Each structure stands twice: as C-alpha cells, then as structure tokens.
Amino acid sequence: MPHSPHLSETLPGHPHIARHGATLMVESLPAAELAARFGTPLYVYSRAAIEASARAYADAVGDRPVALRYAVKANSSLAILQLLSRLGWGFDVVSGGELARVLAAGADASQVVFSGVGKTDAEIEAALRAGVQCINVESLSELQRLNRVAGSTGVPAPVSLRINPDVDPRTHPYISTGLRNNKFGIAQSQARQAYAQCMQLPHLRVLGIDVHIGSQITEIGPYLDALDRVLDLVHDIERDGVRLHHLDLGGGLGIRYADETPPSPAQWIDALCERLQARGQGHRQVLLEPGRSVVGNAGVLLCEVVTLKSSLEKHFAVVDAAMNDLMRPALYEAWQRIEPAQARDGAQAMHYDVVGPVCESGDWLGRDRQLDLREGDVLAILSAGAYGMAMASNYNTRPRAAEVLVDGGKAQLIRERESLQDLLRGEHPLQD
C-alpha cells in the first residue's frame, strides 16, 4: 500500500508508535535511526506508553482499597522497574533473582509479593530478611518448609495461600494457570485444610488468599467466576476462625496483538470491585498483579533483513533476530504484527515467512506476511514489550539484544548488547 509522506497513522493498540508517512516512529524517533545507532536486534520501549498504562491503572483504582503489584516476569529490565517504582507501584516476583532486581530498582520490600510454585529455602530466607509484604504459598509441603525457614531465620512469615479455582480463562493452554490440571496452587477442595494447618504452624502469619487464573485474558467473565469461587471459600475459611486481611486476585489482563478487544484496566477493576461490593466484601484490601498489559504494547523488537530466499513453496525473509530473542512465536505460535521501519509502495510485495538464523524449523517470528522487502531493511516486531527480553536466551551462542528506552526525542541505552566475551565469562577450560 502506498504511504503518503505527510500522512500520520497511529498503529492500533500502540498510541506512542506511529507511522509518519513511510517512516515508523517510536515517540519522536524513527525506528530505522534507532537501529542504525544502537544496532540490531534491538528492543525499544516507549516511556510514554509505559507511563500511560501505569497511570490508567492508578486512575482506575482511585481511592478504592486496591494495591497494584507489577508482575516482574513480563519485563524485568532494571530501568523499567525503576520507572514503575517511581510511579508508586509495588511488585509481584517469582524468584530470588526478581526479588534482587526490584530491590536494586529501589522498591519498598513491604510492597513486594513473592509468588511461585517452587521457592527454594534460600529464596524464602531472602524474602523474609528483605521484609516482603507476603509470600504466596502453593502447596501443603511449602507451608511446612516456609515454617521451618521462618523459624530458623527468626522472622515470622507473612502468608497467603494460592487457591486453584478450576476456572477456564479461555486463553492459550501454556498460560492457563487456574485449571485443576495446572501445576499452580492448592485445590479449592483442600483449601480449608490448608488454612487449618497454617494456623497450627507457629512461625506463620496468615494475611490473605490468592488466585491467578492465567495470562492474555480478554474477557471479564473468567475473572468474576474465579472471584465468586474465592469469595465462597473466604466465607467458609473465616467461619473456621481464620481472619483474612486481603484478597490477591492476580493479573493476566490481555493486550491487543492482532484484533483482540480486551477490557480496559478501568473495566476490569470496576467489574471486580462491583462484584466485591455486591457480595458484601467491598471493604477488603485487594491486590492486583498486571504485567503484560502495562508494558506489552510499549515495546518493539527491531531487526535487519539479512537474506531473502525462496524455496519451491515459500518466500523467506531471514532476519538477525531469532527465537532466542523473541520466544513467543515458537513457544505459543503467537502472532505479532511486523512493520517495516521504512515502508515502500508495495509494488514488489510478497508473502514472506519472517524467520531467524537459529538452527530450528521452529525459529520463526511471523508467517505469511505481505511485505515489500530488500536485504538490509529494518523490520519492527510490535507488542514485544512483555515476554520478549525477559524470555531471551543464548541458544546457538547468540548474544542477547540491547535495550533502549525512548523518551520523546531522546533515547537511552538501558541494557548493553552482550558480547561474545560475556557469553564465555564464568566458564572454565579443562585443566589437563
């Protein structure tokens, strides 16, 4: 499609990433110029987009008893954590490494929730010594381990039990976490037993109940189903003599990758609070843990077309980014929009599979995309702010990409590109 040199086009779902004529812009900077300056593959994030998403959540909360805890697993880059911390957010972490990151970013440990299905003794001790708000426990065995570590550490453990409500979030099976066959949480039928056991352990302090049903959820219905089941359980648990101070309702709100229409933060939070009010629970402290919806559409992955080639049946655009840089397409068969940094008139457009150089047939970033390409062109893979760099690896001994944060007309390097020397550091050759 021809592009007018004067036409400005905002990309759906990406208010701070737009096409000005033929040129793709991240805020006020051309994507191609960022690629030339910092090299490719390159993760680029819009500060304005992250701040707008974070403030949309804060505005939706208003003066209600709802606390926001960003899910660090979505994007754990230090500068982004610092940005959210300055905006008043707390954090949801799932490893000792994520805990160390948020503390390095200046987070208040008393606003950090430690989740995760397989915490080690060392991670539990680190969380207790840091003074986290709560540790979300996912099994009866973990209750015993937490009590033991808390006793040896001399710090009472603040506890919430994660309950598996067996609710279908209607999302990809790999990111569904609230069904009975998922590894997460304690079965709802075992919850009262678990809380009774918790009350008998001397080094635990019960604070709440936790539920998280999945990720990239685009409907409110599953959230309300899960909330209703949890509230039924809260009634029974408190009748047993356990006092619950908060409800942790998790996160998982989806974003627009293609044509999805997920609820806004306000629609989601309003629906949850209205249901709580209707059930006589509007006074409860609520924790929410969004991640993808805060950063997902704030980021792009820039890459360069290395080779154009054709087989008997396919046209391939081989780029210098790969599944080690962006795992979502290979792992989930995920669709993410791909845009040229500098568009042409489309006269030579063909249907390309955009693939990387990794030695796997699963190394693809987009299939059957109509693009007018030349070798050396820069492509932008959109909606890459969440589960992009956070899931990157060194497969095929490939250095991980650099990261840049754009703020209006300024660009700051927030993570240096790894070198080959970085990849060898810490390894030791044979001594004989």
Catalytic pick from 198, 273, 303, 359? 359
Q: How many CB atoms within 10 Å of residue 140?
A: 14
DSSP 19-45: EETTEEEETTEEHHHHHHHH-SSEEEE
| Nearest residue to 85 via CA among 115, 113, 112, 65 | 112
The upper half-sphere exposure of residue 162, i.e. CA atoms within 13 Å in the direction of its Cβ, equals 25
Radius of gyration of the chain (CA): 23
Whole-Å CA distances, 284 to 22, 58, 273:
51, 18, 10
Decide: 48 and 16 in contact? Cβ < 8 Å.
yes
How far from chain centre, in Å, is Cα 112?
16
Helix or strand (DSSP H, E) at 80: helix 78-86
Catalytic residue check, 359? yes
Decide: 140 and 195 in contact? Cβ < 8 Å.
no
- Between strands 410-415 and 402-407, the pairing is antiparallel
Where does 288-390 have alpha helices with state H? Answer: 292-295, 328-332
Where does 279-346 have alpha helices with state H? Answer: 292-295, 328-332
Tokens of 271: 């629906």
3-class SS shares of the chain: helix, strand, coil, % to 5: 30, 25, 40
**Cα–Cα distance between 147 and 156 in angstroms, integer?**
8
Query: What is the phi/psi pair of residue 244, to 5°?
Result: -105, 125
| Nearest residue to 297 via CA among 388, 373, 181 | 388
**Cα–Cα distance between 86 and 97 in angstroms, integer?**
21
Tokens of 227: 């909330």
**Cβ contacts of residue 118 below 8 Å, gap of 6+?**
none
Side chain identity, residue 340: P
- Give catalytic residue positions: 359
